[in-house]
Amino acid sequence: MREPTENAWFQPDRIYRPGGRTVIERRSLLERMAVAAPVISPARYDAAIFDLDGVVTDTASMHAAAWRRLFDDYLASRPDRAGENRLPFTDEDYRRYVDGRSRYDGVRVFLASRRITEDPPAVQALGDRKDEYFRESVKQHGVRVFDGTVVLLRSLRAAGIRVAIISASRNCVEVLKAASLDDMFEVRVDGVVAGELGLPGKPDPAVFLEAARRLQVTPNRAVVVEDALAGVAAGRRGGFGLVIGVDRTGHPDELRAAGADLVVQDLAEVKLTGVAAAEPGKIEP
């Protein structure tokens, strides 16, 4: 069977297993309707895997600003005759081509969208420059945490549901420390771990599957929580039991099209059945 194309992850009726060679039909409409309410049941799920940027911490906006600074400078400096290659980097560019991907993949995919090709050293140099911009921003402004996410994390832990953090970023540890959340998660699979293991980036589900493996749970017994289109698609392709899309930018339909079962504006909307919700500060990490 033909391997899925770059845009194949926008097909919400199918699941692509690792490597993309086995395709199975998604759950039926009735099964999807059964999870229409923003509820997680401890009887149904053993673990939840959270993306970092934009889900746990408000660092997605900092990444977007760093990418915009990088690409606006780069595009303005190009001697292209075609004007479209010099148009500024947009929020739509960030959501569609960069968000959720490793920085080098982000560079390649965005440049390809503008029909620009750079050699590997140039791609790496651009990605490293973006990382410098992001680190400068964290050092200058610190890291803001989404309170609704922290309350949900504490409720999950109190209910015996294991939690993991994933990120395409190599700065995950530093960001978690800055947010005082470095002891919250049992498992971490970030850009450093993915690089060591040679794991492909999103929308491939490899990082989520590795997190599930380390949590010792099967994907169908785990929840994926993502805000990026590529991340939602990865959760769907990995066959996870529930994929929650967090929409902080006003584009819920895009998350649903990528494969989210539920879309919420904030994780304070998500409740646990049969378990009292934790209050901020009530349960120590």
Catalytic annotation, residues: 51, 53
Full 3-state SS string of 191-253: HHHHHHHCCCCCCCCHHHHHHHHHHCCCHHHEEEEECCHHHHHHHHHCCCCEEEEECCCCCHH
Burial of 274 (0-12, 13-18, 19+ CB in 10 A): exposed
Q: Tell me: cis bond preceding 4? Omega within 30 of 0 counts.
A: no
**Residues near 99 by beta carbon (within 8 Å), at least 6 away in sequence:** 54, 60, 63, 64, 227, 228, 229, 230, 231
Task: Give bridge partners of residue 24 from the DSSP assignment.
Answer: 15
